[in-house]
Amino acid sequence: MSAASPFSPLGRFADWRLATQSIIGFWAFYLVTVLLRGLLGPEAMSAIGYRGINAALGLILTFLIYVTIRLFAREGSIRRMAIVAAAAALPAAVIMSAASLKMATWSDQMNEQSKITTQEGIAIVQRGQNVRIIKQGGDELEVNLPPVEDIIASKMPRLIADGTVTWYFLLAAWCAFFIAMTQQHRTRITERRLAEAETAAHAAQVRALRYQVNPHFLFNTLNSLSSLVMSGRSDRAEEMLMALSTFFRTSLSMDPSVDVSLAEEIALQRLYLDIEQVRFPDRLDVNIDIPEDLMEARVPALILQPLVENAIKYGVSSSTARVELSIRARQLDGSRMQLDVTNRSIGAKSKKPPSPTHEGTGLGLANVSQRLQAHFGTRADVRYGPIPGGYEVSLAMPVDEDD
């Protein structure tokens, strides 16, 4: 499923689960804290009711703050979110303060009779606003206090202001927590997108390098076909066309970004070498030596193709003698292997010494080096140079096998 657009209602409140969990957790912690503190007082049970109402009201108002932030600072900066949160928390704090005072009044009106006896034996009995002081001798003094609502009403602005400050900082604490969580979530999304972009760029680079091989190989093969046709060897040209068809049907069906087993890579090179042996029937010997335990090792598809092409072009084409082209694999250690592509003259000297730089190939070693670097990084390396009677290229790379 595709992600919701940030301009759709679902996208606007895409983090509602995170917000809901944080709001419920925040007010649950507040309720537990005030109730534990209230249990230490003489009227703990009477406070439980309106403290619970306080928490429920706070939960609703905090959720409205979240909605306000998402409506007016949906994808804004932290600064904008903080400004919107600060503005939204102020009226919520005023409502919480006024509601707390009102609930305190109701709680006082609903209080049942309470009695306290001092060490001197004096009993103080209170029911609502009526207070009776009873001495040991039976003397009694009764006092009617002014209603709590009258006391609160006379100092309402100041009491609401004091309560607003307290509630404002409590609501601001949740806002700071939520903004921090939002920023952390955005950071994780950004990191994930960067990782996906890096992976996509890497895959594109590997595909580009891989796709360079096909035109290069096709040009060389068509050139060989042209030589066969012009020299009147149409039967050999027909053999080469059949081999070429099989090679391209196999190689073009591969996903360039997917590795193949070493056995599959060698099978493709055998197809190519079959084509070249049609072209050079008396001058090309092929020797392939791959240990059984390395057959399932994973390698980039057609990683050997430019090396084998160079061996044909600079070894076989430039020599008047038979040339042995060898492909060997061996285990270096527990986690790496080495692939060697070697061309060596058997008999007469070559027309010219093999070029260590392979100038004019267009791809060759540069393509192979870049693909290995893109695929394995510093875990792979390429070494090459002349050897007695020929040239050798060695690839070292990690051994990665399918489970």
Distances (CA, A) of 144 to 102, 127, 151: 21, 10, 13
- The predicted structure's pLDDT at residue 289: 95
Average pLDDT over residues 72-96: 87
> Model confidence over 151-193: pLDDT tens digits?
556 667 787 888 899 899 999 999 999 989 888 888 888 888 8
Distances (CA, A) of 325 to 209, 267, 341, 389: 24, 15, 7, 12
Of 108-112, 251-255, 378-382, which gets the smallest average pLDDT?
A: 108-112
- The predicted structure's pLDDT at residue 332: 87
In degrees and rounded to multiples of 5, residue 178 shows phi and psi of -65, -40
Of 131-145, 242-256, 272-286, which gets the smallest average pLDDT?
A: 131-145
Confidence of residue 229 (pLDDT cuts 50, 70, 90): confident
At residue 198, does pLDDT exceed 50? Answer: yes
The domain limits of the chain are: 9-109+149-194, 233-398
Q: Is 3.30.565.10 the CATH classification of the domain at 233-398?
A: yes
Tokens encoding 19: 């917000």
Name the more confident of 172 and 371: 172
Nearest to 27 by CA among 39, 16, 19: 19
Name the average pLDDT for the chain. 77
> Percentage of the chain with pLDDT > 90?
24
Average pLDDT over residues 365-380: 83
CA 259 remoteness from chain centre? 23
> Model confidence over 250-302: pLDDT tens digits?
766 766 667 889 999 999 889 888 878 877 888 899 999 999 999 999 998 88
Confidence of residue 354 (pLDDT cuts 50, 70, 90): very low
